[in-house]
């Protein structure tokens, strides 16, 4: 058998050598083919794709910002004030002094969490409008667990436990619409809207009937060990502002969300389902499972936002503390183009407008800031398809 295989291999080599000698290249009738270039064109294509994604991701928010500034100019002029003076006062009251900047960081911290929550859902093709209730549930769970801890509980134990409680409560509330959609096809928008009313009303009843301090709508204060330190403990210039070290957790959450979306298989499945669930299912992805995980993760991130107020600022849960931050997270996600670091920048922008509204109240009504926020959202919605059309038309030869 081995002799027969050796003879067969020798015949194959002889046939190959004869074929090679009979080719035009060997006879000299045609020039030998030049070697392949050392550099492949694939990196250049990937660079073009990255540039295209960058342009389509960055230009629409910039266009929306310019549109909002122009519209703001007309509104300010209608009140008989100088747009330059108003914008200067807005910047001086926010980024121009330590207290104002600290307040911007505090408000942006909550918006980062709610913006990430909405963006994770949108990446999976789900519209989570329940960040408000998930935020409140997380804050309440952190406060309730903090009240159960002994007075001498160390911060290294108390703070992580409260953070885990906030994440679990927000994730549980967020998982409900995910499970209902996966099992029964219930639309997540309707379910999350209804859960906002149910969860907020339930928390209101629990606080008012069981846990409130007399003549208030907030719980008793938690032990000192469960309090997240203020930034002023490290940077005295922030004295008086509510900024605290929860902002580090917000940045870590943004980094973790980016890693999950773009570096893991689960994140790839989530994005695939968001783009085309039928194709993802045909490729072997468990679409109902992705829906459930996406909504649970979305609720978890929103629930973490509750610790900014409960652990970092007041050290108790207060009814209505969210103040619309859950709904504003929708705008943050849209302006941030559903990218984790875009969400961080958008959160800073909306926090600047929110705090700046208090600074410009001496010249114009602070409600003008709310009008500008709405204009930005509308401008982003309109500019995204237009900018893409212009860019693609420019690239077409």
Domain annotation covers residue 239: yes
Domain for residue 76, yes or no?
A: no
Domain membership of residue 156 (yes or no) is yes
What phi, psi does 235 have (nearest 5°)? -120, 95
Q: Residue 323: inside a domain, yes or no?
A: yes
CB 143 within 8 A of CB 317: yes
Q: What are phi and psi of 218, to 5 degrees?
A: -130, 160
Tens place of pLDDT per residue across the chain (397 aa)? 444 544 455 554 544 444 444 444 444 454 544 444 444 443 444 677 777 777 777 777 888 888 888 988 999 999 899 999 999 999 999 999 999 999 999 999 999 999 999 999 999 999 999 999 999 999 999 999 999 999 889 999 999 999 999 999 999 999 999 999 999 999 999 999 999 999 999 999 999 998 889 989 899 999 988 999 999 999 999 999 999 999 999 999 999 999 999 999 999 999 999 999 999 999 999 999 999 999 999 999 999 999 999 999 999 999 999 888 999 999 999 999 899 999 999 999 999 999 999 889 888 988 888 888 888 888 887 877 777 777 777 766 5
Residue 300 located in a structural domain: yes
Residue-number span of the structural domain to which 164 is assigned: 109-328
**3-class secondary structure, 318:** strand
Q: Would residue 83 count as lying in a domain? A: no
Task: Check if the beta carbon of residue 110 is closer than 8 Å to that of residue 304.
Answer: no
Closest CA to 271 of 254, 253, 258: 258
CA atoms within 13 A on the CB side of 203: 28
Q: Which of 331, 313, 361, 353 is nearest to 95 (CA)?
A: 353
As a whole number of angstroms, the distance between CA 11 and CA 14 comes to 5
Entry pTM = 0.85
295 belongs to a structural domain: yes
Report the half-sphere exposure of 226 (CA within 13 A, side-chain side).
32
Residues with Cβ < 8 Å from 152, sequence gap 6 or more?
A: 223, 225
Burial 201-212 (b: 16+ CB within 10 A, else e): eebeebbeeebb
CB atoms within 10 A of CB 239: 13
The tally of domains found in the chain comes to: 1
Q: List CB contacts of 95: < 8 A, sequence separation 6 or more.
A: 101, 104, 352
């Amino acid at each position: 058998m081995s002799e027969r295989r050796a003879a067969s291999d020798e015949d194959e080599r002889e046939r190959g050598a004869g074929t090679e000698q009979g080719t035009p290249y060997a006879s000299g009738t045609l020039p030998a083919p030049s070697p392949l270039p050392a550099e492949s064109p694939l990196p250049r294509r990937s660079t073009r794709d990255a540039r295209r994604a960058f342009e389509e991701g960055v230009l629409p928010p910039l266009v929306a910002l310019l549109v909002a500034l122009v519209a703001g100019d007309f509104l300010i002029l209608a009140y008989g004030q100088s747009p330059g003076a108003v914008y200067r006062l807005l910047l001086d009251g926010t980024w121009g002094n330590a207290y104002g900047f600290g307040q911007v960081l505090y408000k942006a911290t909550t918006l980062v969490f709610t913006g990430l929550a909405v963006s994770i859902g949108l990446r999976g093709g789900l519209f989570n409008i329940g960040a408000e209730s998930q935020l409140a549930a997380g804050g309440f769970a952190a406060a309730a667990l903090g009240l159960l801890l002994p007075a001498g509980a160390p911060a290294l134990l108390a703070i992580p436990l409260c953070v885990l409680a906030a994440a679990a409560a927000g994730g549980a509330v967020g998982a409900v619409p995910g499970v209902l959609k996966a099992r029964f096809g219930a639309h997540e928008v309707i379910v999350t809207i209804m859960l906002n009313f149910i969860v907020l009303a339930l928390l209101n009843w629990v606080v008012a009937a069981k846990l409130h301090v007399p003549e208030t709508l907030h719980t008793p204060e938690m032990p000192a060990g469960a309090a997240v330190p203020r930034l002023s403990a490290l940077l005295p210039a922030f004295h008086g502002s509510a900024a605290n070290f929860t902002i580090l957790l917000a940045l870590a959450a943004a980094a973790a969300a980016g890693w999950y979306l773009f570096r893991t298989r689960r994140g790839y499945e989530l994005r695939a389902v968001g783009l085309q669930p039928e194709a993802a299912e045909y490729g072997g992805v468990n679409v109902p499972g992705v829906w459930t995980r996406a909504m649970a993760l979305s609720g978890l991130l929103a629930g973490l936002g509750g610790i900014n107020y409960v652990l970092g600022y007041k050290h108790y849960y207060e009814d209505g503390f969210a103040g619309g931050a859950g709904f504003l997270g929708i705008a943050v996600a849209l302006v941030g183009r559903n990218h984790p670091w875009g969400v961080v920048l958008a959160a800073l922008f909306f926090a600047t407008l929110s705090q700046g509204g208090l600074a410009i109240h001496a010249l114009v009504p602070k409600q003008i800031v709310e009008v500008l926020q709405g204009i930005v959202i509308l401008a982003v919605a309109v500019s995204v398809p237009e900018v893409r059309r212009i860019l693609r038309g420019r690239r077409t030869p």
